[in-house]
Structures are given as structure tokens and as C-alpha cells.
Structure 1
Amino acid sequence: MTQPVLSVSNLTTSFLTNGGWKSVVRNVSFSIAPKETLAVVGESGSGKSVTALSIMGLTPPDRSRIGGSIKLESTELLKLSPARMRHIRGNEIAMIFQEPMTSLNPVLTIGSQISEALTLHRGISQREAESETVRLLERVRIPSARTRINEYPHGFSGGMRQRVMIAMALACRPKLLIADEPTTALDVTIQAQILDLIKTLQEEEGMAVLFITHDMGVVAEIADRTVVMYDGETVEAGATAEIFSDPKHAYTRSLLAAVPKLGSLHGIDQPTRFPTVDRITGVAKEPERRANTVNEEDRPVLEVKSLVARFDMPGGFLRGPSGRIHAVENVSFDVRPGETLALVGESGCGKTTTGRCIMRLTTAKSGSILLNQADLLALDGRALREKRKGIQMIFQDPYASLNPRMTAGEAIAEPMLVNKLADSAEAYAKVGELLKRVGLLPDMAGRYPYEFSGGQRQRICIARALAVEPRLIVADESVSALDVSVKAQVVNLMMELQERLKLSYLFISHDMGVVERISHRVAVMYLGEIVEIGPRAAIFNNPQHPYTRKLLSAVPVADPTQRQRKRSIANEEIVSPLRPLDYAPPKRRYRQISPGHLVMDSNLDRVDLMGSSNRGPFCK
């Protein structure tokens, strides 16, 4: 019998809190064979990440205690000296963390950080390390890798930073790769490529993979066996196919019931909430269907017309720009009262830049952004602040967007006080109402962000956004970092608030399952341009543009029996939006497929059918 690469027996990890030891992982056991992938799944706080940190020896030595046994082949890791463990980390065991920005050094270039791992662990020269770094970056599909090795982490998108982390982890070809939510920040096409890349390297090197995730579609796609954790313990374990086809534990059934299944809303025109799931029985209760709340005759809350955003690339010391990033190119759309328009596409396609331009957090080169008929790009100072109360933003990482020194109540009250919508007493009285509105208790106002779970922090961010009573909310990957059950709760909350307050959402996301649930219309972006836009049902049931079809085919299906299905996942390098300084973008032509469903005609890209109206082709 083949010796396991990793054997974990009765792992128990405790932390010192309030003068006593509290166990957060209890009696967890599993093993992983060469070339095998074991998925550990569970919601936030279940203990899956602590399990990974315990294996790596990365828990704080003065405040943690690890019991049981952790063996890498025949080596007992819990008995190794710190120096010996440092040698094993990176050389024989590598780890990909969920949040790349906190894992990468912000003051060192991407190239120097990967080269450092290569020179330390593989003993190669600096020149060899630089060449290997370029090869690794190219292998994880980072465009213009040779020029980008000298850039810093802040110059990369979230998805690109995660690809850098994956390249770094794979640099020394480890025996065991621990991947802690490695594809959470990635769009579906890059996620599919990364999963394929990990599987390819796994076959080539005989590498074992411990895959920690809350995405059950990814589990079905990649895992041979699955361990389900709840409250620090293993509640179910077995072959992935058996877990999905015949889950024994009620919690496992509740997890699977909360998974968005692409295509499950076929024939349903309107957004539909996620089922509510009973954790005791695992039974899902389907939500009541809602009538359409969007009136086509209402004037749009937001009208974006011919929006352009470009960024100069520095050419070096005392030199002008060497090129220009065309981040957003001639983008037009509108959002009506009570409507959700989803903006989808790969990392770097321009969807977040579009949202930031609308919020005036990024400066647009040209175009117009009409919020209730007032052009935000033409306003400054007090006039801009006054109008911007009508639009708020929910960011991807709630912990990073909340001030750790402010209580939840102070964070929610601040927008009301800054905008002089209420005095201090009125603001703090309203805080309790807002917390109740987002499903939290008023007495939580005195807690700090670290005292909340990820889902609760995102609810606080939603309450803060609602404090100034906006008509439009820009939600930038607002649920992508949440586990499936919490994600379903937050999406249901957003839809409930939309119905009650007639809110409009610009929902920026790469999670196509959630997009299908929440959106009225969908706009697909590629290289800064909208290539297809239309009603949700038209985009999901009748995609016309090749990129839209590629995007949908890359979505992992939460069904292990579909693992071998043929998907159009291309491994070609992503086209860079970097252009020469004299580049003139072509004018585009769009075809109407059905009412409101428009697709870019890539074969006639120099013909302008936008007409004499300055509204653009995607405004109704």
C-alpha cells in the first residue's frame, strides 16, 4: 500500500483566551495519498483554516497548543525544531492563502518575492531565478510577465495577486500543497484554469493537495475525497461522489442545499432568493416568488454614457509613459429604480474600475455618469458630496473597509454625521434600527469589527451604506469571500432590502450562480468593453458572444458525475489591456438578438451603429 504523503491523527488545536485554553479543532483525522486531492469544507469558524495552519506550524507558539499527530510521509512534524520546520515549509509543503495582499510584501516587487523563494530553497543563481520566475508567472497566465516582474503588488488586481501567490507556492514543486480558499478571489475562467493547472502539476509531480474551500462546485470539480467540518469537528468524511449523492449528516445536506446551481432558474424571469435551509434537518424551503418590481417607464437612477478610463504606464526615471492601460473603453448602460444590473467578467476586464469611476474614487478620462440626471463627472467639492449621498458602495473585504478602531455603531453613524443628516443623538438612535434591518441586534453596536464573523461584518457594511438612504448601491464582489450558507443569507438580505426600499444595485461579481439569482439584467465585460448585455434569462439561456459562452462553460458544477464534461477552457495568455500611446480604439457595432439583448459584432468592429444619440447602445 502506498504511504500517504500526509497523515493527520486526532489533531486537537487549542488557543489561550481569557486565561484558559479553548479548543477550536478537536480530534480531526485524515490522510492524503500522492496525486490525491482531499477537500476540507465548512463554513467560517468551522476550524478548517486552523487545521491547515496547524499542519504548517504557523499557529502562534506562545498562544496555541497542538496535540495528536501530523506526519509528512514518515516525519512527525510536531516534534521538529523551528529551523527544521522552516526548511520543510516551502520546500516540501507549500501553502496558498486566501488573501494575497496580506501575504505579499507591499514594498518588494513581485519578481523579487518569487526569486527569493527560488534562491533560498532551490539554491539557484539570481539570473536563473529571474528566468524561472518569468516562466512561473507565464504558467499561471499573467500577461506580459517579463515586464511585470518589476511591479509591486498594489499594481495587480486581486485575481492577479492570487495567481502570483500560486506561482510562488508551486515554485519549489512541493510534495504537499495546502490551498486555503485559493480561488475565492478569482473569476470563473481563471479559477477553471488554476484548478486545471493544479491538477496537471499534481499528475506530473505526484503532489498531494489539501484543498480548503466553501465552494461546493470546486469540491465536485477537483476533490477525490471530502471532509466536512462543523464547529471544530469532522461531521462527515468519504468519497466526494458519495458525499454529494447521499449526504448522511444534516449539516452536509444544508451545505449542499445552499449551493447556487447554474441553470436552476430556467424559465423564471425574476430574481429569486436562495432557499432557507434548516441545519437540523437539512431540508431547504424554497422562497416565495416575487413579482417584477422594475417599471420600464421609470427614469433610470443611473445613466453611464461612453465612459472611458485609462492609466499611463511609467517608462522609467525621467521618461514619459511607455504605454497606456485601456481599463474602460466606451462603456454605456443604465440602471432603473428597483433593478439589479450585474457586471461580470474576468479580473482586469474593467468592471471594478467602472464601479470606482461611478463612485468618483477613480478619475474617468471622458464620458458622463448621470445620477438622478446630475452628471457626477461635472461636480466637485460640496456639490459632489451632496449628490454622492444618493450612491453608496459595498466592498469585497468587509474587514478591510471597516476601521478596526471604530465600533460597529460608530462606523454606521459616521456617514450620517459627516453628511449632517442627523445630530449625534439621532444618528445613534438610527444605528439600532439599521442593525435590526440587516438582521443584527442593536446591542451589537458597541462591538469592534474583530468581534464579528465575516458575514456579520458584511451586514454592518450594508447597514453603513443604507445610513444615508441611497437610491443606488454599487456592490463590488460583496459576497465572493463568504461561505455558501452566509452568502445565501447576505444575498437574500440584499434582495429583501431592494424590495422594501426600491433600491437599485450595480452588482459586480464573478460568481455566476449568485448573478443568476440576484440580477434583472447582466452586462458582460471583456478588456474594458461590454461585449454582451441583456435580461438575465437571455444571457444565461441564449448567450451569443463567444466570451459569454466561455464564461458560463467555466462555472464549476456541484455534481461530481459531471467532472469529465468537456469545457471550453482555453489556456492561452490573457490579452493585456496595455496599448501604445498612439492607439486609437475601434468603434464597435452591436446586434440586437431580442428586446434588450445586444451583443458586440467582433467581425465589424470599425462600424459605428451607436447612432446620433449620445446615450450609447446599452441605455434603454
Structure 2
Amino acid sequence: MTRTDAATNPSKDPVLSVENLTTSFLIDGAWKPVVRDISFSVMPGETVAIVGESGSGKSVTSLSIMRLLQKDMSRTEGRIMLGGRNILDLPESDMRRVRGNDVAMIFQEPMTSLNPLFTIGDQISEALLCHRPMSKAEAKAETIRLLDKVRIPSAASRFDEYPHRFSGGMRQRVMIAMALASRPKLLIADEPTTALDVTIQGQILDLIKVLQEEEGTSVLFITHDMGVVAEIADRTVVMFRGEAVETGQTEDIFLRAKHPYTRALLSAVPMLGSMKGKPQPLRFPIIDSTTGLPDTPVEGASTVAESRPILEVKNLVKRFDIHAGLLGRLQGRVHAIENVSFSLQPGETLSLVGESGCGKSTTGRAIMRLIEPQSGSVVLNGRDVLAMDRKELREMRRTMQMIFQDPFASLNPRMTVGAAIAEPYLEHKLGTANQARDKVAELLERVGLQADMAARYPHEFSGGQRQRVCIARALALDPKVIVADESVSALDVSIKAQVINLLLDLQASLGLAYLFISHDMAVVERVSHRVAVMYLGEIVEIGPRADIFENPQHPYTRKLMAAVPIADPTRRHARRNVSSDEIKSPMRAPDYVVAARAYRQVSAEHFVQV
């Protein structure tokens, strides 16, 4: 029976049936329900997606099914039928046998799920020995077979390697191999691709589809990404504030969504190719989750007429020495940035795109001189940043500011957000304490928050609000250039849309220039005037956004675009066959000589490495 047949055959009993599930947490001595009256089922060979933003209750639902919530602080009511048994009634000893044998789970962050002190092979073998009667030799052979199955290259030779030796995508493959060890009937995948680069995400989605077809496993897929839902789910459950607000066939959900919140999620999905024919960046339409009415998308700032660039980077090089052995001898160098050159006009957005390890974040930090490059030049407003002394560098940072990926790690948890925003203003002696308070109130309102929020601490804000606080802090010194390093990659889809709209609004009103660092090609297409594609520390293609997206020339650019999830449910059984090769290492021998690079001009401003 094929996957589609299994999903549509009503005579089959469901693998999982959740009925009136309500999960509550003990808060201040009272039980507070966070998941209310949820019901759904998963049929044999079917993929059901639970979709919603952070705080919607989707992960709590999956942990309730696995009975992994802390007993004394949580209460689960209703029925969870698995294999004809209500697993909520099972003693813990029986539930331990259910986990792994009947149902297995893949978590979002594989590095925290894998024990760094044990080898990959030992950890998968342990799962096999716990659940299946076999010897250690048989477990090792089965582990190697599973690693092969999840497309780990040279599986036998990697049996004795530790998790830190694997890339993020390969670690997630190991987690899938471990989950499949006992051939469970149901696989729960909780945001398994959220933290991954777009090409690695494409590989993992293809892998789950292949394994599902080969093993006939049912999948409960938890995500906030509607593009991923369209690619993988037969049926979809949309959750909002602990309730299932819409359930149905994925195609019906996408084409005929009834609930305003579902329409809001769908409107916020960046669609690759949606900017064709549009010369300028475009705001996302934001739908009010109460009324369901969208606002009108507005074009972002147009590129300023040809003038002197506000930022010029030429032949920038940054290498990290690797020392090893008792004497700490030089063993090699990581060529993080190699002869990177580009310019940025006032009021323009240039996006640096590529996978993790390509050098894009190192480029941003080198330009800010948070790390010291070996050679090259960075000219800001006609002044060489790399030649500046400490005092001049301090003044430079009034003109160029940075927004980091993780807003929680960027803010001092012991400092109110008002104090955090005022700190650079006061440090640079731009005004008095009273003027700083007025500036903070103005900035908070400019980024869509209330002035009275200045007295709150970072933990009292959501992820999207914290990123707005970081943007307000970056604006405190009235900069002309902002380096945005993966500043929206950790945000839910609708919050991402709101923050991007804010950045575009600020660009239009203040004339800001952005160096936008990202691996999300669909977002990059939406916000950019020009795009530079990085691979192994080098820019392999650069040009106007329309040229890069409508006429990509470099194989790596085409690979990045092919991996973007497309929000079209009619394609959910198709596979993109994204190459499963790991990105090559930028580490080179100490005597390595970098080959001279040549570029071919495709059009007036479009260049590709040959």
C-alpha cells in the first residue's frame, strides 16, 4: 500500500488517536491549561503536521503524547490511543517500552539531544540493545546499516566518531537513525529542520519522505513553517493559543483557509519568485488575526541614485590558525574569508547569503572590527576602518551598528531594556539622562513597542519583541549602516514578517543601508536590492536581486534556490534530490596558496566566479 493509499483508506485503524487532550501546568498554585481539548488522528503511512507559532501549544502536545512532561508540574487529561491502548493509563515501566518501540521522537536541536561524551555508534547501539534482543556485534552492524540508510557518508568509519565531529545536518540524520532503530509505527518530528540551513533542511525533508515510503512509518510533524507543511503533510492541524483552530487536508488548508489565523500564517510565508517584476523590496502583508483583514504591501526604499558608496570592502581576508600537539605547532588555517570585495550604497540593502560556515557572519564581524582581518580594506564614509585607533573606532561605531541573531543573548538579563537602549547614547555622551529617557521612549515607539515597556527586563518580552529592542538599541546612535546578522532566522514566520517590515520602514524613513546576512533565500529575495552569494569564504556570484534570482549562474546559487521549501501542497510527494554532500571544509595546510580567482560579467552589475 502506498503512502497516499494509506492516508485515504478509511478502513485502516489510526496509528495514533488523540481525543480531547487537555494539558495543564501548575502555576502559582493553580492549574493553567496550555493545550485545550485537542483531537486528531494519524493514519498508517500518513503525515500529519501540527503548525503554529511559539506558544501555540504544539510542542506541549507532542511531549504530552510521549509523556515526557514533569509529573508534579503537569496534568494531562483526555485519551491518547496508540496500538489500541490509552497510553495515559499505562504505568511508567510500560511507557518506557512504548517509547522507541511504538513511537519515537526527533527533537529540534540534535546537539543537545546527543551525549557529547559518547560516540555516535554507541548511542545508536544503546537504543537497539534496550529495545531489541541482539548482541553488541549485531547492534554495531545494525547501527552501520541505519547510518547508511540515513545517507551518512562512510558510515562504518564514522561509527566511533563523537557528535562534535558532525555538521548540524549530519547530527540530525543521526537522530533520525536513532529514532528509526526499533522501527516505530509513529515518528514525532518536533521542528527537526528549523535550526538548519536551507539546503540541509531540503535534504532532511527528502530523507523523511524516502524513509516513510520505505518503512511505512506514520509521521507527526511539528513546525511553524507553512512552506515545510506544504511539502510534507497530508493533513494539517493549525494551533493558536492552545487550541486547534482549523483541521483538514493540507491542500484545502492552503487553498480554502477559513480561520483568520491560518490566513495570517499563509500570508507571511515568503514565496521564492514572488518578487518577479517588482523593482524594489516589498513589505509582507500582515493579516490581523482577529479580523482576518490584510494590510496593503508597500514597496521599500528605492536604491539611491549612483553616488559614492557609504561602505567599500576590498580584498578582505580573515584566516584562523589551528594549533595542535604538545608544542602547539601550526597544523593548518581556516580560510574563513578570502578576497571578499563589495560596496554598499546609502539606503541600499545588500544581502550576503550562504550556508553555515561559508564566512558570511565572519565578514560582518570583520567589517565591524569585532575580529581583526589579516588584510584588505574597509572604507566607511571615506575613512579606512582597519587603520583606525581605539578612539576613532569608537566614533566609527556611531555610523555602523550590528544586530545579532539571538536577541536574548544580546541583551543583559539584569538590565532593563530602557537602560540597554540608553547605554550607547550615554556612553557616547550624546545627551543627558533626561534626553536619553526621551530618546528611549521615541525609539521604542518607532520599533512598534510602547514607551512604558522601558522598565521591563528582557525575559518579559517575546522573541520578536526582544529583536525589536535590539533594533531600537542599534538605532540609538543614529547610524547610517546596519549589519543585520541572521537577525530574523530564529523568529516565527509572522513575527519574522513584522520585523522585516519594520526594517524596510526604517530604511525608507531614515535612509539606512543594510548588510543583510542570511541563509533564507526567500526572505533575501523580498528585502534586497543586491545579493552576494558566499561559498567557502569567497563571493561566487554578486549582482542585482532580479539578476541573481531570475538568472542564477553559479551552481551553488542554483543549489541554494532549489532547496527552498515551496508552499504548494500539490508538490508534497515530490522530492528535490538536493545533494547530500556536506559543505567542504575551509581548513587548509599552512603552506596553502590561494588560487587567483576570475569573474565573468553576465550583465552590467552581475558577476559570477569562473
Normalised by the length of structure 2, the TM-score is: 0.89
- Aligned equivalent of 2:129, options 117, 122, 135: 122
| Structure 2 residue matching 1:198: 3-state secondary structure | helix
2:243 alignment partner, one of 233, 243, 248: 233
SS at match of 1:217: helix
Instruction: Please tell me whether the aligned partners of residues 92 and 176 of structure 1 are also in contact (alpha carbons under 8 angstroms).
Output: yes
Partner of 2:514: 505
Contact 1:275–1:285 (Cα < 8 Å) also in 2: yes
Match of 2:296 among 264, 276, 286: 286
Q: Deviations over 1:120-176 (max 9, x none)?
A: 5535649976994897499466899968975675x8776666566556555655443
| Pairing partner for 2:404 from 362, 370, 395 | 395
Which residue pairs with 1:223 in the alignment? 233
Instruction: Specify the SS of the correspondent of 1:383.
Output: helix
Letter in 1 for 2:195: A
Structure 2 CA distance for aligned equivalents of residues 51 and 391 of structure 1 = 44
Q: Is the 8 A contact 1:137 1:164 kept in 2?
A: no
Identity over the aligned pairs, expressed in percent? 63
Matched, 1:344 2:344: no
Alignment partner of 1:413 is 2:422: yes
Which structure 2 residues correspond to residues 144-159 of structure 1 after superposition, within 5 A?
A: 153=164
Give distance in 1, aligned partners of 2:604 and 2:141.
53
CA distance in 1, matches of 2:26, 2:535: 49
Match of 1:611 in 2: none
Contact 1:115 1:130 in 2 (8 A): no
Please state whether the residue corresponding to 2:119 is helix, strand or coil: helix
Q: Which residue of 2 aligns with 1:112?
A: 119
Change (3 A) 1:51 1:328: same
Q: Is the 8 A contact 2:283 2:501 kept in 1?
A: yes
| 1:594 counterpart SS class | coil
TM superposition shift of 1:63:
2.0
Q: Could you tell me whether the CA contact under 8 Å between 2:80 and 2:87 is conserved in 1?
A: yes
Query: Is 2:62 the counterpart of 1:52?
Result: yes
Q: 8 Å contact 2:22–2:78 — kept in the other structure?
A: yes
Q: State the match for 1:524 in structure 2.
A: 533
Q: Which amino acid aligns with 1:74?
A: G
Q: Partners of 2:144 and 2:83 in 1: how far apart?
A: 29
Deviates more, 1:42-51 or 1:84-93: 84-93
Aligned ranges 1:312-351 → 2 under 5 Å: 312-318=321-327, 320-351=329-360
1:481 aligns with 2:481: no
Shift of 1:235: 1.2
- Contact 1:550/1:568 (8 A) holds in 2: no
For residues 564-584 of structure 1, the C-alpha deviation after alignment (integer angstroms, 9 at most, x for no partner) is 567462233433323333222
User: What residue number does 2:373 align with?
Assistant: 364
CA contact (8 A) 1:119 1:125 kept: no
CA contact (8 A) 1:42 1:48 kept: yes
Higher mean alpha-carbon deviation, 408-417 vs 332-341, is at: 408-417
Q: Matched residues in 1 for 2:388 and 2:160: separation?
A: 39
Q: Structure 2 counterpart of 1:589, which letter?
A: A
- How far apart, CA to CA, are the structure 2 residues paired with 1:125 and 1:317? 36
Against the structure 1 CA distance between its residues 192 and 319, is the aligned structure 2 distance closer, same or farther, given a 3 Å change threshold? Answer: same
Among residues 56, 76, 99, which one is paired with 1:66 in the alignment? 76
Q: d(CA) in 2 for partners of 1:354 and 1:499?
A: 25
Superposed, 1:19-98 pairs within 5 Å as: 19-90=29-100, 92-98=102-108
Point out the more displaced range, 514-523 or 63-72.
Answer: 63-72
- How much does 1:593 deviate? 1.1
Separation (CA, whole Å) in 1 of partners of 2:137 and 2:426 = 55
Cα deviation digits, residues 63-87 of structure 1 (max 9, x gap): 2211112233234332344454455
Per the TM alignment, residue 338 of structure 1 is displaced from its structure 2 partner at its CA by 0.9
Q: Which residue is 2:598 aligned to?
A: 589
1:239/1:289 CA distance change after superposition, 3 Å: same
- Structure 1 residue 119 displacement after superposition: 2.1
Post-superposition shift, 1:365? Answer: 2.8
Indicate which of 181, 192, 205 corresponds to 2:191: 181
Tell me what 1:618 maps to.
none
1:264-319, CA deviations, whole angstroms, 9 ceiling, x for partnerless residues?
1211111111113233443434323356242321x222222112222334544445
Paired residues of 1:475 and 1:507 also in contact (CA < 8 A): yes
Q: Which runs of 5+ in 2 are unaligned?
A: 1-10
Change (3 A) 1:501 1:150: farther
With 483-492 and 87-96 compared, the bigger mean Cα shift is at 87-96
Within a 5 Å distance, the mapping from 1:258-269 to structure 2 comes to 258-269=268-279
Q: Which residue of 1 aligns with 2:4?
A: none
Cα-Cα RMSD: 3.0
User: 1:230 Cα shift?
Assistant: 1.3
Distance 1:485 1:284 in 2: 13
Whether 1:201 aligns to 2:211 is yes
Deviation, structure 1 residue 59: 2.4
Partner of 2:8: none
Task: Tell me the distance in 1 between the aligned counterparts of 2:176 and 2:573.
Answer: 24
- Which of 567, 581, 589 is 1:580 aligned to? 589
AA aligned opposite 1:266: K
Shift of 1:489: 0.8
Q: After superposition, give the CA deviation of every residue in 1:438-490 in whole Å (9 maximum; x if it has no partner).
A: 10111112222222222111111111221222222111221122222211111
Match of 2:452 among 443, 449, 466: 443
Task: Point out where structure 1 has 5 or more consecutive residues left out of the alignment.
Answer: 602-620
Q: Secondary structure at the match of 1:62?
A: helix
Contact 1:143 1:574 in 2 (8 A): no
Output the CA distance in 2 between the equivalents of 1:142 and 1:440: 49
